[in-house]
Amino acid sequence: MPAKKNVILELSRLQKEVLELPSPALQVRKIVDSVSSVVGTDVCTLYLEDNNHDMVLMASHGLVQTGPVSIPAGKGLVGLVASSRHPINIARASEHPSFYYVEGTAEERFRSFCGIPLVRYGKVIGVLVVQRREALALSAESEGFLVTLSSQLAHLVADMPVTMHGAHLNTYTRGVRGSAGIGIGLGILCDHGDLYSVPDEPCADIESAIADWHRLLQQVQLEIRQEQHNLGELLSESVSSIFSTYSSLLADQALIQKVELEIRNGNWLPGALRKSMQYFADMFLAMEDPYLRARHEDIHHLGNKLFTTFQGSNSLVQNVDEVDHVVLIGDEVSISDIAAVPSDKLVGLICFSGSSLSHTAVLANALGIPAVMGVGQLKNLRNRERFIVDGNSGQIVRWPNEMLCSEFQRLIDEERLLLSKLSSLKDEPALTPDGFEVRMFTNSGLLADLSPGLKYGAQGIGLYRTEIPFLVRDSFPSEDEQQLVYSQVFTAYAGKPVYMRTLDIGGDKQLPYFPITNEANPALGWRGIRFTLDNIQLLMTQVRAMLRAAGEDGDLHILLPMISSTEELDTFNQLLTEALEQLHGESIAVKRPKVGAMIEVPAAISQLQFWQDRIDFVSIGSNDLSQYLLALDRNNSRVASRYDLLHPAVIHELDRVMKLARKYRLPISLCGEMAADPFAVILLLGMGISTLSMSATRLVRIKYLIRHIPQEKAHQVLQQCLQLDKVQDIRKLLHQTLVDYGLQELI
């Protein structure tokens, strides 16, 4: 047994050695051999839980294993360790009432037993067992070492495939929903070489390297135009503008000059390219807003595309040619990769990193390709492994058996029938059976987001994020440049309401050309309306651009993010009046828009009584409001499982906001995940919500739900839920409500 001071060293050594091994089989073998040696026991066995909650023996040092070994759920000392979630350390295992003998392991030779649960994020995923021939329990020191070790091992083995006698079982890995739908196919790796692992090397000829850089820019511009043409028949003009964004980045002088500078500093072209792309990507990655943070993926995609073209090799096309149903897999599957696969072959996307807000996810939504993002690195991955991509639940299944594939194929067939049935609702009103109507809006932020909303019958834009023009440049965009972007939005949604949020930046969402001092808690710091009012010249320019883009015909509504005080509202309204007076003085035809407060900060709720004469409407930002109410970061894997939009506190506060809005005659809308969640929509209907804004692909589904559940029934269900104090009970009641109305297919 190692001395206490060496415990951390032993853990670090074991983790390093395990990660260097090429296969899960070798990794688990290394774990049990090392633990047995360090603790000084005759046996060390690792069990992992399978999908049936049975404990499967993965590897053992000391036991005989001639075939598959599986202990039924809850059986034996191993099952007791798992269910009790605490160690069991006894001298005579066979005398314990829970003892369960496994035939064929020769376990009878070993008398003592010490089992430690492997727990990851509150869930038992396995059990580590050590045994000795002598009837002697482990010392407290050795048991403590195993408890410490097991807490680390749980994270190390969590994603290992659970195997029995060499046969892979269905292995689930959870990620983030990128695009809804289900796909079954063979995985093809998008691995063209990683720019970000390129080393720095001396540049032999600086002028020649700079010339190569400019030739590379021209070549990649041509490739992007060709890829855009390849997808042209599948994409609307505005969705195709994603490619235009890439072209704009390649033409940006800040990028061009940064690479040139790195070359002149003596770095070869790949090294200069790596440093430059990483420089710009890091700026986006440091930002707090998940939508803006996701833009770093675009820089990474573009950097790898430049590097692939520089290398002059691409094996993706050859691999795709030999597969009928393709699932593209990579760290960040690029738009170029998607464009390289025939549309009738591509059935899914899996990204090790990324988010639902990345360009990859946006494009997947537009094309109707199921996508799961942020699954983490998949170990020992090879081309042509079978995968199920479940974009509805945000998880993938690796090595699915035929029975599971058949079940998911049934879901795919049912989904096709449902979409066929719902397609006719595009232009129908979202009207409940008892006559309550809800306006259906879409969220947007890229020009690429515009057409999908119209395709699925959006009646307007409920949230347009205006940050992008500020983030693709090396200086603040001018009023004319912003006006040009916003005008395209009003053109696409002519005659429809457009809710534009003012610049939501600040805290750790730093612009590359306007650095802000780091803050201890940026979520509570200098961001949103606080930042723009302190930089009022930027806000004036943006408001003028919005007003000009809307003109006299556009139905502009201005949303104020992170609003929390009356002074902020008064200052903005004064600025808006000044902007209108300026434009009228310049003979530019504009009209005063409606102004609303986003309810994201809980402090705003109690102040609605003071704001009724200062604002025209309110819009609930359900994602941020829920996080602030629960003090939980839903992007933090350690606490994400505790984040639930249907938490009783969230429901009660939303109900309070709705009642206050009615009392003060303020129109109210809601944007965020709740608007697209069938369970949440029942409650929102019961509260009397009249405007919902969501991602475009969810519009017809939610409209179908609204057209089948009476508002009065939703109100009754809401009253029942308000009496419940557990999320599980709330979800159970809402699930039953959908089943009662024959809407279980929407779950």
Tokens representing 239?
A: 């969705």
Is residue 668 within 8 Å of residue 690, measured between CB atoms? yes
b/e sequence 309-318, b meaning 16+ C-beta within 10 Å: bbeeeeebee
Residue 484: partners with Cβ closer than 8 Å, 6 or more residues away: none
Is residue 700 within 8 Å of residue 426, measured between CB atoms? yes
Say how far apart CA 724 and CA 726 lie, in whole Å.
Answer: 6
Three-state DSSP state, 571: helix
To 10 degrees, the CA torsion angle through 379, 380, 383, 384? Answer: -90
| Residue linked to tokens 């072959």 | 345
| Residue linked to tokens 């580590």 | 128
Is residue 17 within 8 Å of residue 31, measured between CB atoms? no
Residue type, 339: A
Say how far apart CA 172 and CA 425 lie, in whole Å.
Answer: 35
Mind telling me the catalytic residues? 359, 671
Q: How many residues does the chain have?
A: 747
Q: Which helix (H) or strand (E) holds 626?
A: helix 622-630
Tokens representing 139?
A: 């010392």
Tokens representing 6?
A: 């060496």
Please give the DSSP secondary-structure letter assigned to residue 506: B
Q: Which residues pair with 46 in a beta bridge?
A: 59, 128
CA 385, 388, 389, 395 dihedral sign is: negative
> What distances in angstroms separate CA 512 from CA 279, 283, 284, 294, 506, one per listed residue?
9, 6, 8, 15, 12
Tokens representing 589?
A: 């035809």
Concatenate the DSSP letters of all residues of 663-700 into one string: HTT--EEEESGGGG-HHHHHHHHHHT--EEEE-GGGHH
Say how far apart CA 466 and CA 483 lie, in whole Å.
Answer: 11
> What distances in angstroms separate CA 481 from CA 101, 281, 489, 626, one per listed residue?
75, 23, 13, 35
Is residue 588 within 8 Å of residue 566, measured between CB atoms? no
Say how far apart CA 229 and CA 356 lie, in whole Å.
Answer: 25
Is residue 445 within 8 Å of residue 291, measured between CB atoms? yes
- Parallel, antiparallel or unpaired: strands 395-398 and 386-390: antiparallel
Say how far apart CA 430 and CA 100 lie, in whole Å.
Answer: 58
